[in-house]
Copies of this chain bind each other. A is one copy, B any other.
Amino acid sequence: MSSSPYSGTVHLDEARRVAIFGGTHGNEMSGVTLVNLWMNNCAEIQRKGVDTKPFITNPKAVEKCSRYVDTDLNRAFTPENLSTPAGGDLPYEIQRAQEINRMFGPKGSPEAYDVIFDLHNTTSNMGCTLILESSKDHFNLQMMNYIKKAIAPASCLVLLNEHPLLKYSTSRSVAKHPVGLEVGPQPQGVLRSNIFEAMRVILKHALDFIELFNAGMHFPTCTVEVFRVADRIDYPRDANGNIIAMVHPTLQDCDWEPLNPGDPMFQTFDGKTIHYQGSCTVYPTFINEAAYYEKQQAFVTTRRETLVASSIRKA
């Protein structure tokens, strides 16, 4: 037996209650379409020993085919919002966050759902990206490892957002094991077959993993490469706050590729290049995402890191 700190198997509760959220952003069509399909016919997402609930989280935004109605639902699951007294005068998404928290939570409680998959699309060239909120969730890390191996040679990257300032209060954060799935590039309001099928395949493997875990399979310790959110980079602006440059053509569509100190980053409207001034190589992602203009974000930088997942088995 190894004496490594990772050699002991961690015993975890089985994951009986699973939800699949679509329409957290109402104009991200792959998740909206898949969840609507599965609400009509759940055969594809049924697994032995798993109760899986497909759910449209922001039906009014889906109806309007807009990201949100009053405020971003995927930033709304704060302790303040979830504990404020309910009322019809609250912004729609805050009311909705409270309902979702009642149905799938309460967040942080033993009654909360075990796993929530939240399905998103991005206009960035991110491919298939799984988003985790904790580097210490060994169940999720093992799931990432399982999915990566299952879809090879296709690839699927893991974005880890546990940044103290840039982490936000997601819809999926209601669950014990929150998993974001972000697939792109796809314009808002558009459904592309390649993006739709890619998302569908990831969900298939994710549910397979849960079924195997619940059946008692042992998952030995492994490593998982993740990209940890480091910084948010805004567009260059003039004194009035107006954007004066675009993502540089050599950076556009190059999500996950190294950006080195001195590399071109933006191009001003009068043709000047603005270079990356950081002190070390980073891996940008969410490059030129439509929804992040209003969040003053041209892209986020990440650092590549290898995490160790403990060996796990059902308790």
Contact = CB atoms under 8 A, between A and B. Distances in A.
Interface stretch (A89-97, A241-249, A255-263): A241-249
A287 to B, nearest CB: 10
Interface stretch (A139-147, A157-165, A183-191, A210-218): A183-191
Contacts of A9: none
A123 B246 contact: no
A274 interface: no
B246 A193 contact: yes
Contact of A246 (B187, B192, B252, B290): B192
Interface in A186-240: 187-194, 196
Copies per complex of this chain: 2
A190 B269 contact: no
A173 interface: no
A187 B192 CA distance: 13
Interface residues of A, number: 29
A196 B291 contact: no
Main secondary structure of the interface of A (DSSP, over half): loop
B188 A267 contact: no
A246 B189 CA distance: 13
B188 A246 contact: no
Interface in A256-311: 267, 269, 288-291, 293-294
A33 interface: yes
A42 interface: no
A37 interface: yes
A187 B123 contact: yes
A300 B66 CA distance: 25
Given A188-B189, A189-B293, A190-B123, A196 B33 contact: no
A189 B252 contact: no
* Nearest 7 interchain pairs by C-beta: A187-B187, A189-B290, A123-B187, A193-B246, A190-B290, A193-B249, A187-B290
11 contacts: A33-B269, A66-B66, A185-B187, A189-B290, A189-B293, A190-B290, A192-B247, A192-B252, A193-B247, A193-B248, A194-B252
Interface of A: 33, 37, 65-66, 123, 185, 187-194, 196, 243, 246-249, 252, 267, 269, 288-291, 293-294
